[in-house]
Amino acid sequence: MRATSQRWHIRAGLEQEYMTRHASVWPELERLFHELGVTEYRLYRFGRDVFAHMRVDDYDHFIRGYAESEVAQRWEDEFASLIELPNADPETGWPESGELVWALPAPHPR
């Protein structure tokens, strides 16, 4: 299991459109994420900045499967005009993965 994060920017003036489109994520996209081993995926918005946090069984498998998916391509096309990807990985096109600095350990059983 890998926890990873990414960040990107919403283009100026398109913040509400970005939020509106995420209000109804396609069920087939959600199924794809589950099929590719994603157990958790959260997006947080700070003004125009978006922070994503994901837990996935095999990140490389996820990236390959996502890139090959027609559903994922349609979703990416829907958002291409809304976002900017700083430091995108030249091989995958995905935003750069963040480095874990610290995590709260699980509580010890008593």
Q: Residue 82 corresponds to which amino acid? A: L
Asked, for residue 108, whether it belongs to a domain, the answer is no
| Domain count along the chain | 1
- Taking the chain (110 residues) in runs of 10, the rounded mean pLDDT of each run is 93 98 97 98 97 94 96 96 88 83 87
* CATH assignment of the domain containing 69: 3.30.70.1090
Handedness of CA 93, 95, 98, 104 (dihedral sign): negative
Asked, for residue 80, whether it belongs to a domain, the answer is yes
Asked, for residue 103, whether it belongs to a domain, the answer is no
Asked, for residue 96, whether it belongs to a domain, the answer is no
Write out the residue range of the structural domain in which residue 43 sits.
Answer: 2-84
Q: Residue 4 corresponds to which amino acid? A: T
pLDDT of residue 30: 98
